[in-house]
Structure 1
Amino acid sequence: MGKYLVLQTDFGLSDGAVSAMHGVAHMVSSEVVVQDLTHDIPPYDIWVASYRLYQTVKYWPKGTVFVSVVDPGVGSDRRSIACETNSGHIIITPDNGSLTHVQHYEGLKEVRIINEVESRLPHSEESHTFHGRDIYAYNGARLASGEISFSALGEVLPSEEITTLPLVEATNNQHILTGSIDVLDVRFGSLWTNIPLAFLQEEGIVHGDSLQVTIFHNGKKIYQNILQFARSFADVQVGEPLVYVNSLVNIGVAVNQDSFSDLYHIGTGTQWQIQLRKAPKIIFEEV
């Protein structure tokens, strides 16, 4: 096991919750290196928490322990679980769908149920609303430091029995590429889809080509336009929309130096679908 512990929550940084999680980890072992993935997950948004894990986990060394706490069901009978991914990482999280994307795209090697009564911060038995500190950060630090083994956390849970959220698979059907708008590049308002670059390559679409982009919300058309498939944002004018390849080698839609999401009121999740198809290249003649 490595010495890295990476934390993700919807707590924000306006109070001491995240600092308390750091403190508990360092109480377990001063050698654990605690880092933050993000604490700005929208409150209770399990879908975004799941996606951010998928976006980030594989870029850390094998053996890194992740703790993800977006937990609207804290104190209920929802399970606390730890999983070892096929990539060799550990994730501790509520069993509420937070592993959906990692399970689907990376795969899980083993899942275990954490005993919330026995495996918790000493003297925290009467607290039932801060499992992020008392169970997840505590056990995450014990794993990262080598104090306990993964197998010591609890009983095995078949991976097919964990809670998952519905996903929409991207498709390439009769030259129409269809997928979902999974998440935003938050600060810049770009749309990240689940349509892989490989689909465009199958269609012979290259940088500089024009694409017809259509966006639907619950089946209703919200947006349609012809956009350039650009190598980078600098390939189009400021304020001009474009299609590009994001850091996960999937297709994104953006506006150069503006927020596509804000401008066109586009959201994320499986109810938001996008279609791409190759369009004739538009050439403007000089007057």
Structure 2
Amino acid sequence: MSQALVLQTDFGLSDGAVNAMYGVAHSVNQTLPIYDLTHDIPPFNIWEASYRLLQTCNYWPRETVFVSVVDPGVGSERKSVVAKTTTNQYIVTPDNGTLTHISQSIGLVEVRAIDERTNRLPKSGASHTFHGRDIYAYTAARLASKEITFEQVGPQIDLNSIINLCSQKADIENGEIRGIIDILDVRFGNLWSNISRDLFEKQKINYGETVEIVIKHGNRKVYVNQMTYGRSFADTRIGQPIVYVNSLDNMAVAINQGSFAKAYNIGTGSNWSIAIRKTESTYSKNGINLATRQHQQQQ
């Protein structure tokens, strides 16, 4: 029985690139179930590709095969690999940092370099710019269809040699919870941090209490303010900021019915840091954060 094949790229859907990958996979096995994770990764944004795999993988069955092609180094000496996770899933991707979040949060048990002599689309040897079609979709389809085993992908390589992007682990120091802005909830502009709910709760912050948020880009402060810790956006008024637990059980910051990222021009990655500290509660009876209102009135 074939396993699901899940595709992720930065190709978009305005041309035939993704469709060609579908065609290659179906040329291996016409009944292969193929799904899209996303094809809207910003061009060349390896960090976001890495995060979107983490966001998705845990919700797919064992032995699902993922293909992630965000590959600014296509045609270079970078390796093409298949990684096996601790949850017995497979990720077919260039070794360029795409495995960072999976490696750190889920774990890898083995990685193999793709042997292009046997795992490459026939009659595609002269092309060096579309590995997503010629190598990754082809190899992934053969693996998902059980035409090849994981061992037949190619030689095993040292896990310590896999490229990881620079990252910062969330921690607590002097009562301040520190982490990074891992990613955006793109459509709504919410900021998703790498601060887990478990780490946040160690500071004994309760729903309805006030926290201070400091966001930096490098050493430059971009945003400093106080806001409510709420269960959902209903715990604050439209246009007001809120801290909440997102769908991955990490802490996030949003503006109710607004885009936090656009409002304050905030990006993502290891150079975007966030710090959270509990403050004295300053609320009116209807739960609106008075400190935030005062801050806005002063601007």
Q: Same fold (TM over 0.5)?
A: yes
Q: What displacement does 1:2 show?
A: 4.9
Percentage of identical aligned residues: 53
CA distance in 1 between counterparts of 2:82 and 2:106 reads 15
Contact 1:113/1:154 (8 A) holds in 2? yes
CA distance in 1 between counterparts of 2:116 and 2:166 reads 27
Q: What displacement does 1:118 show?
A: 2.9
1:141-180 per-position Cα deviation (integer Å, ceiling 9, x unaligned): 1011111101000000111111111110101112100000
Residue matched to 1:261? 261
CA distance in 2 between counterparts of 1:59 and 1:2 reads 18
Contact 1:2/1:64 (8 A) holds in 2? no
1:206-256 per-position Cα deviation (integer Å, ceiling 9, x unaligned): 211110001011111110111101101111111111000011101000011
Q: Determine whether 1:209 maps to 2:197.
A: no
Residue matched to 1:195? 195
CA distance in 2 between counterparts of 1:193 and 1:272 reads 10
TM-score, reference length from structure 2? 0.94
Matched residue type, 1:243: V
TM-score, reference length from structure 1? 0.97
1:188-215 per-position Cα deviation (integer Å, ceiling 9, x unaligned): 0000000111122111112111100010
- Structure 1's consecutive aligned runs of 4 or more residues displaced over 4 angstroms after TM superposition are none
Matched residue type, 1:79: K
Contact 1:32/1:141 (8 A) holds in 2? yes
Q: Match of 2:157, SS?
A: coil
Contact 1:31/1:145 (8 A) holds in 2? no
Q: What displacement does 1:285 show?
A: 7.2
1:96-137 per-position Cα deviation (integer Å, ceiling 9, x unaligned): 000011001111010000022331001101111100000000
Q: Determine whether 1:120 maps to 2:120.
A: yes
Residue matched to 1:44? 44
Q: What displacement does 1:4 show?
A: 0.2
Residue matched to 1:4? 4
Contact 1:2/1:62 (8 A) holds in 2? no
Residue matched to 1:138? 138
Q: 1:104 to 1:35 in 2, by over 3 A?
A: same
Residue matched to 1:162? 162
Q: Match of 1:22, SS?
A: helix
Q: Determine whether 1:177 maps to 2:180.
A: no
Q: Match of 1:142, SS?
A: helix
CA distance in 1 between counterparts of 2:176 and 2:273 reads 12
CA distance in 1 between counterparts of 2:5 and 2:285 reads 57
Tell me the number of residue pairs that the alignment of Structure 1 and Structure 2 aligns: 286
CA distance in 2 between counterparts of 1:13 and 1:239 reads 34
Residue matched to 1:226? 226
CA distance in 1 between counterparts of 2:40 and 2:252 reads 21
Q: What displacement does 1:30 show?
A: 1.5
Q: Match of 1:43, SS?
A: coil
Structure 2 unaligned residues grouped into runs of 5+:
287-299
Q: What displacement does 1:283 show?
A: 2.5
CA distance in 2 between counterparts of 1:88 and 1:233 reads 36
Q: Match of 2:177, SS?
A: strand
Q: Determine whether 1:87 maps to 2:71.
A: no
Matched residue type, 1:161: S
Matched residue type, 1:148: I
CA distance in 2 between counterparts of 1:222 and 1:122 reads 52
Q: Match of 2:156, SS?
A: coil
Residue matched to 1:270? 270
Residue matched to 1:55? 55
Contact 1:170/1:179 (8 A) holds in 2? yes
CA distance in 2 between counterparts of 1:68 and 1:75 reads 16
Structure 1 unaligned residues grouped into runs of 5+:
none
CA distance in 2 between counterparts of 1:159 and 1:32 reads 30
Matched residue type, 1:193: S
